Amino acid sequence: MIRPRHLPLLLLLTLPAAGQQANPWADPPPAPAALPPSGAPSVAPAGPGVPATGQPGIAAPGFRIVNRTGAEATALHAVRSPRGVGNDWGQSLLTPGRPLPVNSGFRVVPTDPEACRFDLRLVLADNREAVLREQDICANRTIDMAQAAAARPATPPPPSAVPQAPPNQTARQVSTGTGFIVAPDRVMTNEHVVNGCNRITMRTPDGRWLAATPPARVDAALDLAVLVVPGLPGPVLTFRTGPAVRRGEGVVAYGFPLAGLLSSDPKLTRGEVNGLAGLQDNRNQIQISAAVQPGNSGGPLLDMQGQVVGVVVSKLNAQRVAERTGDIAQNVNFAVRGEAALRFLAAAQVTPRSEPSAGAERSAADVGEIAHRATMFIRCER
């Protein structure tokens, strides 16, 4: 990575900037080798009796769920993914006392016409349930629900046995950044976020403070690090393995900019991929227009399917550019490529979840919900 002392046009995004001393968190060089959304319901029942439109070429609104379970269904739920993962199913769409018979269908009309990904659930009269997750209703307008099993208890997970590690209020110097879960108990961030730290603690989405355990695996050239953080089983974010990122693709950056100035909750910004290389044709980075600030360092950059395509790392120093050129550069930001991050994780012997990115695009709000469950606020104490 090009450091500010070599190229002052680049600003790293910790808050404040990390020191340049030797990194006690670095390991020896290796041998060569949801949150559930709140508010209004996401669907409106249209009922079993809503016919298809009579106009040629115009499909009926919404999508149709067909009960193929072999038993009457007493409740039907359709919620935007990933609400169903947390058993947040909301109210049944069926009218009380009017079950959905076997082989009968029920039409659901989303309140948001752009919504495509849904978790679906039928509760049967014998207390079994049929559940389908991440259904793309924009591609498949009729969904058969056939497999039913005993209902999963809606009990909360047991609290973590890992002791919490609250911030040290007497630390002489503090900087902050962002990280995200890439595997159980493993958090990815930038190397410059953890450089020089005596202690690293992070706030989880559920409000716990957990400490990282040294040593970290780091790559200063890529500006990446992966931390061991006991007590973080997941969920993890999924890396995109294809297709290749293109200029003009929509992306979402998620993180904790300007901690202590802005509110403490994470911030989401949306932008595009502007270029396929970083400064001086650095092919391990991409250029993005999603706005980032100090504190965003190490946060995930996601495509509009909610998969990781990069790790936010730096922005152009607009003031220094203006001094040199007389013009103010706007929204010139950079992220480490997802492919480079995957190579780094493989070298660190960490196996993340990865798969091709496919299906209809999600809304930025839906992508933010995916990112939120796995994104950490990182505090570096010296």
Residues 6+ apart with CB under 8 A from 165: 201, 209, 210, 211
Higher per-residue pLDDT: 167 or 233: 167
Selected residue with higher pLDDT from 140 and 29: 140
Higher confidence at residue 236 or residue 322?
Answer: 236
Q: What pLDDT shows up at residue 196?
A: 93
Cβ atoms < 10 Å from Cβ of 28: 6
Does 136 have pLDDT greater than 70?
Answer: yes
Comparison of pLDDT for 140 and 12, the residue scoring more: 140
Residue 117 reports pLDDT greater than 60: yes
Model confidence at 93: pLDDT above 80:
yes
Tell me the β-bridge partners of 210: 202
Residue, of 27 and 111, whose pLDDT is higher: 111
CATH code for 10-33+166-381?
A: 2.40.10.120
The H or E element that residue 45 is part of is strand 43-47
State residue 133's pLDDT score.
86
Rounded Cα distance, 129 and 123, in Å: 4
CATH class of domain segment(s) 43-51+60-150: mainly beta
Rounded mean pLDDT, 36-40: 35
CATH 2.60.40, the chain: domain bounds: 43-51+60-150
In the chain, the percentage of residues whose pLDDT exceeds 90 is 60
Instruction: In the chain, list all ranges with CATH 2.40.10.120.
Output: 10-33+166-381
**What's the Cα-to-Cα distance from 366 to each of 252, 302, 329, 371, rounded to whole Å?**
11, 11, 31, 9
> Does the structure show a pLDDT above 90 at 291?
yes
pLDDT band at 328 (very low <50, low <70, confident <90, very high): low
What pLDDT, on the 0 to 100 scale, is given for residue 23? Answer: 56
Structure-token pair, residue 62: 């919404």
Highest mean pLDDT among 131-135, 146-150, 323-327: 131-135
Residue 96 pLDDT grade (very low, low, confident, very high; cuts 50, 70, 90): confident
List 145's β-bridge partners, or say none. Answer: 67
Token readout for 356 is 């091709």
Identify the pLDDT of residue 7.
44
Q: What mean pLDDT is reported for the chain? A: 83
pLDDT surpasses 70 at 135 = yes
Q: Is cis: bond before 215, omega within 30 of 0?
A: yes
**β partners of residue 150:** 128
